[in-house]
Structure 1
Amino acid sequence: MKKYEQIADEIRRQIISNFYKKGDILPDQQTLAHDFNVSKITIKNALDNLANEGFVLKTSGFGTVVIGPSTLITDKDAPATNFEGLTKQEGANRVSSKVIKFDLEFPDDKVKKNLNLHGEEPVYHIIRLRLLDKEPFIIENTYMPVNLVPGLTLSVLESSIYTFIRDSLHLKFAGIARNIQAKQADGLDISYLNVTEHTPILEVEQIVWLVNGTPIEYSTSRNASNKRAYYLFETN
């Protein structure tokens, strides 16, 4: 965990425990930097995290005001703009994976367009069941260009692809586009998510880009709508 994430965790804990109450103004960034013995940029990153989660409101000329935790957000919800990966969000001790499919393919036109591929460039086609606390949680259907993710193995798929990309390949994610829709349950959902054909399904279709603007992932993830939702917190 990075230093700013540790600091965000500590301030979040202080807010949840009512050490800082709703309406309180947090100490300024210089004071927090001194208290935590870090740089102001580290504090800024920590406060940005908390703002994105709806815990604080950063206002120019007024300070950082405590407004959360939001009554609209539950522990089942995830930030709509977050692309850290499920393992990072929920914790490696809670998340496990069952690999349903792991193949090399030449993609169809839709996948080629979303990954900006030309000619006959192979992709990994990965389908995984993600389990949370050993219970079926999400089915991910993922395509990644082989040339961007060399060395992908079954053992990586059974843990965290994003951790492998960040820590082993030293690639940095920079942007994401998501389309979130309600869907009917399909055969894979029924087989692996313990749902029926009448269960509402939430589908997230996404493209993830690296810092150089290259798409590294096109995927869809599906879960029962009562298992997970997504929230967006914006400020003016």
Structure 2
Amino acid sequence: MYRYREIYSDIKRDILTNHYRAGSLLPTQEILTEKYEVSRLTLKKSLNLLIDEGLVYSKQGSGTYVRPRMDTQSTEMLPLDLPIGVTYSHRDQKITSRLLYFNARLPTELERKNLQILSNDPVYEIKRIRLINNQVYSFEHSVMPVSVAPINEKILSGSVYDYLGSYAKIQLTDARRVVYAEPASEETSQALEVDMNSPIFVIDQIAYDQKGRAFEYSTSRFVSNHNKFVLDVHLSKMD
């Protein structure tokens, strides 16, 4: 990966994890070039990616600021355009997990393609309920290559992304999401405590790390009338 993209991913992660807060001024270019040991030109390329993505904006003579996001104070908002998990989107709430299923197996053909692995590469299969303030929030079905990191039930009781970041230095920096609705199956209705065939909001996601490698393929299901989602749209500059 090019150095400027690594810096872009690092700053973006700091924004998404609230290290650089909305409305705050980023460190000066002098500080950032010294921190990353790069030229101003390389840093400028990184900042331009963040500007084009709508995460930061520049004020002439003042510096570069983290752009405030719509309804960032809402405890019900999940930003569809940002590759973050429940722990970060609801960072001020009590987040817990209830593990329903955990095992290792060989991947299906779809999982193999989405994770870019071989058919004999084992994967973890994880099913768990995420709760916010002891209320059911989502039903997650995740598949992850075993080679990514060793995982156990204790780890699955908390934030998997936090664990991957500290243990394997893996950061979720990009994601491909497909959003749709479906009626609740028997398994989903039991997990989310809703009636069979109730409308369910679904997000399929392939998660990528800072090196562009797919490390998780997941499907998250939400009760349609208990959750809200937001998508900010930004027009990138034309060359």
Q: TM-score range by the shorter chain?
A: 0.7 to 0.9
**CA separation of 1:59 and 1:137: change in aligned 2, threshold 3 A:** same
* Deviation by residue 1:34-63 (Cα, 9 ceiling, x = unmatched): 8xxx95789x79x97xx55xxxx8478699
- Supply the distance in 1 between the matched residues of 2:186 and 2:220 (Cα, whole angstroms): 14
Question: % of aligned pairs identical?
Answer: 23
Task: Name the CA distance, whole Å, in 1 between partners of 2:170 and 2:220.
Answer: 22
After TM superposition, give the deviation of residue 82 of structure 1 in Å. 2.1
SS of structure 1 residue aligned to 2:84:
coil
> Which amino acid letter does the alignment assign opposite residue 21 of structure 2?
A
| SS state at 1:223 partner | strand
| Equivalent-residue separation in structure 1 for 2:67 and 2:20 (angstroms) | 18
In the aligned structure 1, how far is the partner of 2:60 from the partner of 2:232? Answer: 21
TM-score w.r.t. the length of structure 1 is 0.73
Mapping of residues 94-109 of structure 1, within 5 Å: 94-109=94-109
Other-structure match for 1:5: 18
Unaligned runs of 5+ in 1: 13-28
Q: Unmatched 5+ residue regions in structure 2?
A: 1-12, 36-46
In structure 1, the residue corresponding to 2:100 is in which secondary structure?
strand
In 2, Cα distance between the equivalents of 1:229 and 1:84?
A: 15
In structure 1, what is the equivalent of residue 111 of structure 2? 111
Task: Tell whether 2:215 aligns with 1:219.
Answer: no
Task: Supply the distance in 2 between the matched residues of 1:221 and 1:197 (Cα, whole angstroms).
Answer: 17
The residue aligned with 2:3 is: none
**What is the CA–CA distance in structure 2 between the aligned matches of 1:220 and 1:207, rounded to whole Å?**
9
Residue 66 (structure 1) shift? 11
SS of 1:147's partner is helix
Q: Which has the higher mean CA deviation after the structures are superposed, 108-117 or 57-66?
A: 57-66
Moved over 4 A (4+): 1-4, 38-42, 59-71
Aligned to 1:80: 80
| Paired position in structure 2 for 1:22 | none
CA RMSD of aligned residues (A): 3.6
Q: Structure 1 residues 108 and 6, CA, compared in 2 at 3 Å: closer, same or farther? A: closer
Q: 1:197 to 1:122 in 2, by over 3 A?
A: same
